[in-house]
Amino acid sequence: MGTAKPKRTWVEIDPNALRANLCHASELADGAEVMAVVKADAYGHGFAETIKALDSEVSAFGVATLNEALAVMSVAEKTPNIMILGALLPDEREEAVSAGLHVTISSLLEAKKYNEIGQRTGSQIQAHLVLDTGMGRLGFTDKNFIPECAEISSSSNIAIEGIATHFPCSDLDLDFTKNQIEKFSKIIQESKLNARWIHLSNSAGVINFGNAGGNMIRPGLMLYGICPTNHSSHKLRPAMEWKTRITQVRELPSGSGISYGQTFITKKNTSVATVAVGYGDGYPRSVSGNDAEVIIKEKRCSILGRVTMDMIMVDVSDLDPLPCPGDEVTLLGGQMTELITATELASKAGTIPWEILTGISPRVERIIST
């Protein structure tokens, strides 16, 4: 019986952290039902690993595309409701309906097309009507919502399961978001529509506004233990650690250039570890030259020169004893007292933590931590 091949780079997912973050979100939302947003491979954490941790703990899963929805459906055993948050292409709609997925509707024309599919296939469309209160991406305008949705509600093959809106800046502009909530509430009351779920709050919305008057929330980033607002939330626990291994350790003399472009030249004799990760794995090339660090033997070590496709070089001169090939390196997460968060790495890369997490490539293995 063969032994497992050694991993070069991998992420470890903590299911207990996922469940704890979910519980915290639910508490902030006064017990509202939860649609766990698991699009983009569960924000880079892995569909299968995340869904197995949250299955039966949530009322629904939210994804962005038809293929994502079908992938979630193949894994989820206890959560029957899977919603495609994005608009489907015309040639995707019938497959989504046949699979029993929840879909968004943003216009009367879209509703008519879905109703035709329902009539032709003998299906009830599980629809969520989207009201655009300021996102400018999908949804009915406030002027069209009431008259058009009145017509939709009389459609024979459309069941209005939900009514939703989305917050574009609930992390930054609280007054704008309050106005969105008030506008949404007023229009829904005037429409006199009944729906199983009313959902507004994304992660920042949950932290700043709870359920925002709805009976369901749609947390994404906070499920994975990262606070999307400027104030910290000590109850959120990062659910991922991203690790890799050292492939080589060398002593380079003063004046040695490191990596492409010779952007870093050693000023003294330097112990350099070559590490088995690069932008081909999703580690951002844009951290090059921006004081990014990794953790080796519980100490922070600086990345030298440019990130390459498959490797980075790290200064390990201050480690005693020096590390060896095969030793672990932490890219995200912590070893004892040191911790590198996705927010920190995103800052060094000039981006946002969402992009860091969803950019971790498929060749990085996802495993459940024990």
For the question of residue 39 being annotated catalytic, the response is yes
Q: How many CB atoms lie within 10 A of CB 343?
A: 16
Q: Strand, helix or coil at 154?
A: coil
Angstrom CA distances, 30 to 1, 148, 165, stand at: 52, 32, 19
Radius of gyration of the chain (CA): 24
**Tokens linked to 165:** 């809106």
For the question of residue 224 being annotated catalytic, the response is no
Backbone angles phi, psi at 313, to 5 degrees: -115, 140
Choosing from 5, 7, 39, 224, the catalytic residue is: 39
Choosing from 78, 186, 192, 260, the catalytic residue is: 260
**Tokens linked to 193:** 């529509």
Give Cβ neighbours of residue 238 (< 8 Å, ≥ 6 apart).
14, 17, 224, 225, 226, 332, 333, 341, 342
**CA–CA distance, 106 with 21 (Å, rounded to integer):** 31
**Tokens linked to 285:** 């090339």
Q: Strand, helix or coil at 214?
A: coil
Catalytic residue numbers, as ranges: 39, 260
